[in-house]
């Protein structure tokens, strides 16, 4: 499992973002991209200028129909041309959007989303779910806040079993969330392998899309307005976070855990045949890069277990080698999916 930030560092960063975030909803006809690619809009008669991140620029491009590669080329080589294109389509095909910003010294536009986007923020997730996880005796093994997502990976020592002799595992859970439109909140069961300290992410238990009641406001005023939480939304949030806690608990219950251990135990009896060919099959199935396949093969050979379970462990061990935490999570998820591959995929003539 890839090491991320410790909880103190994570909490500090989430707190900084929570204090400095501002969300605005506006008609795109009242939003202008300037020749330097910054964004300008009016709020209460005052003009605001914010600097969009690459994520925000890509989301603007997706909304107005400009391919990402061309957006990036204009952003870096011809920002005035980018502004002319974007402003044309903002006026030609108007829409109501939410602009998510961070205002902590520098004013940054971090996301350009639907006005129906339902913010379920990292601060709320940590405050509502993490205490319940810790009270239940769960231990945080890894956590990270990337440009696109928050991840928390936790394990409970209360549920331990052997996949086979010498291979003990524990039950765990992975939480992930995105404040900038990269997927929904999700709770996923995790199998923590004690011997190698790696985790395989199993099937998804819960998804929550950031879509809900649209904000209320006067779209004809010519100005943007700041989006605040009202009491109704706060009540709805409390109910939702209670549901997330229920799903976290169900993801690490004994029934779910034993079911996953049975799946892994069955996989430990499946011979994958020749290592090179097995890795190529997995590489093609999960679109692994050449370097990732080389790492999987190396870890498979070092582990000495050529079963489907051994191949899964080689994939999850490769997650530690990734410079990107997001990609490491992908590999942990692939590791969980490997054990479900049919045995006949690995039959050799």
Angle of helix 254-267 relative to helix 308-318, nearest 10 degrees? 110
Q: Give the per-residue pLDDT at 203.
A: 76
Q: Give the per-residue pLDDT at 323.
A: 92
Q: What letter does residue 29 receive in the DSSP assignment?
A: G
258: left (phi over 0), alpha (psi -120 to 50) or beta: alpha
- Cβ atoms of 159 and 168 within 8 Å: the answer is no
Q: Give the per-residue pLDDT at 218.
A: 41
Question: The whole model's pTM is what?
Answer: 0.87
- Cβ atoms of 187 and 157 within 8 Å: the answer is no
Rounded to the nearest 10 degrees, how much is the dihedral formed by the CA atoms of 339, 345, 346, 349? 170
Q: Give the per-residue pLDDT at 27.
A: 93
- Cβ atoms of 110 and 53 within 8 Å: the answer is yes
CB atoms within 10 A of CB 94: 14
Residues in the chain where the model's pLDDT stays below 50: 209-222, 349
67: left (phi over 0), alpha (psi -120 to 50) or beta: beta
Domain ranges (residues) in the chain: 268-346
Q: Give the per-residue pLDDT at 296.
A: 97
Q: What letter does residue 253 receive in the DSSP assignment?
A: S
The SS3 call for residue 81 is helix
Q: Give the per-residue pLDDT at 232.
A: 59
Q: Give the per-residue pLDDT at 70.
A: 95
């Amino acid at each position: 499992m890839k090491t991320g930030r410790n909880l103190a560092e994570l909490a500090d960063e989430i707190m900084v973002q929570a204090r400095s975030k501002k969300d605005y909803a506006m008609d795109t006809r009242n939003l202008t991209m300037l020749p330097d690619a910054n964004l300008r809009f009016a709020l209460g008669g005052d003009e605001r200028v914010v600097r969009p991140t690459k994520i925000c620029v890509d989301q603007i491009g997706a909304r107005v129909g400009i391919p990402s590669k061309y957006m990036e080329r204009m952003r870096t080589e011809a920002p005035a041309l980018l502004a002319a294109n974007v402003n044309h389509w903002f006026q030609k095909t108007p829409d109501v959007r939410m602009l998510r910003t961070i205002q902590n010294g520098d004013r940054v536009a971090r996301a350009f989303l639907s006005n129906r986007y339902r913010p379920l923020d990292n601060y709320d997730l940590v405050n509502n779910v993490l205490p319940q996880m810790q009270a239940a005796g769960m231990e945080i093994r890894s956590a990270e806040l990337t440009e696109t997502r928050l991840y928390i990976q936790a394990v409970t020592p209360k549920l331990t079993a052997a996949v086979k002799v010498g291979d003990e595992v524990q039950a765990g859970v992975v939480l992930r969330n995105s404040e900038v439109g990269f997927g929904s909140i999700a709770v996923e069961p995790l199998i923590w392998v004690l011997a190698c300290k790696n985790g395989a992410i199993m099937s998804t238990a819960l998804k929550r899309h950031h879509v809900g009641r649209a904000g209320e406001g006067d779209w004809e005023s010519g100005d943007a307005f700041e989006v605040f939480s009202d009491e109704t939304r706060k009540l709805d949030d409390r109910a939702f976070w209670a549901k997330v806690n229920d799903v976290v608990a169900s993801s690490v219950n004994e029934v779910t855990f034993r079911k996953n251990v049975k799946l892994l135990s069955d996989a430990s009896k499946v011979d994958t045949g020749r290592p090179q060919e097995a890795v190529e099959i997995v590489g093609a199935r999960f679109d692994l890069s050449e370097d990732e396949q080389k790492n999987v093969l190396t870890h498979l050979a070092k582990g000495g277990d050529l079963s489907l379970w051994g191949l899964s462990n080689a994939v999850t061990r490769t997650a530690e080698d990734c410079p990107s935490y997001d990609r490491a999570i992908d590999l942990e998820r692939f590791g969980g999916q490997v054990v479900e591959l049919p045995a006949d995929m690995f039959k050799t003539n």
